[in-house]
Amino acid sequence: AMKADECLIYTDVDGVYTTDPRIVPEARRLHTVSFEEMLEMASLGSKVLQIRSVEFAGKYRVPLRVLSSFTPWDINIDEEARSGTLITFEEDEKMEQAVVAGIAFNRDEAKVTVLGVPDKPGIAFQILGPVAEANIDVDVIIQNVSHDGKTDFSFTVHRNDYARTLDVLKNTVLPHTGAAQVMGDAKICKVSIVGIGMRSHVGVASKMFRCLSEEGINIQMITTSEIKTSVVIDEKYMELAVRALHKAFDLEQELA
């Protein structure tokens, strides 16, 4: 209704960084980020912007600029344009050139596995239906290859929902599906690389997997989209993974 050219958001940091500087001191402030990248990063654990604010800006196509709360209110307009991070809908060649824009992570994950599930149509609904009815959001989902008519079904939930999810599965799903057992692991995390350049570059996921392999980090689950690849790993390796990936994709270096 205000027909604003740009929305300024003042927060406790001076912009969006390639990752959390508390984990990677070499993390670099991004001058521009595409709306799609910011939406992915916000949903994957980046704490700079709440995902709802990014979605709202996207709905009305209003560019956002993230600035420090200590930015003077009477700052020169040219200086303001150089400050903070602009979240834009215009995707230029330089943004495509940066294969990965940033690394997001989320510690608040837990993994649940239903073992020995009958491999038959409708089994995914029989497992996830009761979980959804309990108002539990499911994130990453993996179903293993069938063996002797049985399969294993794994998914992640928010750590706060972990105990409740186990209860639903043990009390509702196991008796109705004939599955053998339910297992869980609350000591996991999700690490993601995000970048619109991933659309036009091959081998990005492979590079990520090789980097983690060289650090001795086992990947438990994988999920991908057009501009992101996420892995679920042991929580104790989270900071090592973020630092290694940041270095592997040269995120500390400004593009020429």
Q: Does one domain contain both 177 and 199?
A: no
**Among candidates 83, 51, 85, 82, which has minimal Cα distance to 70?**
83
Q: What is the pLDDT of residue 233?
A: 98
- 137 Cβ neighbours under 8 A, 6+ residues apart: 157, 158, 161
Residue 47 has pLDDT above 80, yes or no: no
pLDDT value for 90 = 79
- Are 121 and 151 part of one and the same domain? yes
Note whether residue 81 is domain-resident. yes
The pair of three-digit structure tokens given for residue 7, joined into one six-digit string: 């929305």
More confident position, 145 or 79: 145
Q: List the CATH number of the domain containing 194.
A: 3.30.2130.10
Q: In terms of domains, do 176 and 211 share one?
A: no
**What pLDDT score does 73 carry?**
63
Domain that holds residue 86: 7-90
Within this chain, do residues 197 and 173 fall inside the same structural domain, yes or no?
no
The count of C-alpha atoms lying within 13 angstroms of the C-alpha of 122, restricted to the half-sphere facing its C-beta, is 4
Q: What pLDDT was estimated at residue 236? A: 97
Query: Strand, coil or helix: what is 175?
Result: helix
Residue of 26 and 145 predicted with greater confidence: 26
Same domain, 193 and 179: no
Q: Average pLDDT of 113-129? A: 94
Lowest-confidence pick of 6-15, 115-124, 213-222, 238-247: 6-15
pLDDT on residue 3:
64
Q: Residue 253 — pLDDT band, cuts 50, 70, 90?
A: confident
What is the pLDDT, as a whole number, of residue 65? Answer: 87
In a domain, 61, yes or no: yes
Give the pLDDT confidence score for residue 23 in this predicted structure: 96
CATH code for position 85: 3.40.1160.10
pLDDT of residue 98: 76
Do 193 and 177 reside in the same domain of the chain? Answer: no
Domain count along the chain:
3
Computed over every residue of the chain, the mean pLDDT equals 89
In a domain, 136, yes or no: yes
Q: Look at residues 135, 151, 185 and tell me which one is the last residue of a structural domain.
A: 185
pLDDT at 84 over 80: yes
Whether 77 and 44 share a structural domain: yes
Q: List all residues 6 or more positions away from 93 whose beta carbon is below 8 Å from its beta carbon.
A: none
Mark 191-205 as b/e (b = at least 16 C-beta within 10 Å).
bbbbbbbbeeeeebe
Is there a single domain that holds both residue 77 and residue 21? yes
3-state secondary structure of 115: strand
Going through 119-234 in order, the beta strands assigned E by DSSP cover 138-143, 150-158, 181-194, 221-225, 228-234
Tell me the mean pLDDT in the region 102-117: 96
194 and 143 within one domain: no
Phi, psi of 186 (to 5 degrees): -95, 0
Within 10 Å of residue 230's Cβ, how many Cβ atoms? 24
240 found inside a domain? yes
Three-state secondary structure call for residue 124: helix
Asked whether residue 175 is assigned to any structural domain, the reply reads: yes
Q: What is the pTM of this model?
A: 0.87
Alpha carbon distance 14, 51 (integer Å):
18
Domain boundary among the residues 90, 123, 155 is at: 90
State how far the alpha carbon of 219 is from the alpha carbons of 95, 186, 229, in Å.
28, 15, 12
Give the start-end residues of each E strand in 28-71: 32-34, 64-68
d(CA 94, CA 98): 7
Single residue among 137, 153, 185 that ends a domain in this structure: 185
The string of pLDDT tens digits covering residues 161-194 is 999 999 999 999 999 998 999 999 999 999 999 9
- Residue-wise pLDDT tens digits, 50-68: 778 888 888 878 888 888 7
Query: What is the mean predicted confidence (pLDDT) over 83-92?
Result: 82
Is the same domain home to 194 and 175?
Answer: no
> Does residue 100 lie within any of the structural domains?
no
Other CB atoms closer than 10 Å to residue 252's CB: what's the count?
14
> What's the confidence (pLDDT) of residue 58?
80
In a domain, 179, yes or no: yes
**Whether 145 and 202 share a structural domain:** no
User: Is residue 254 one of the residues assigned to a domain?
Assistant: no
**167 and 199 both lie in a single domain:** no
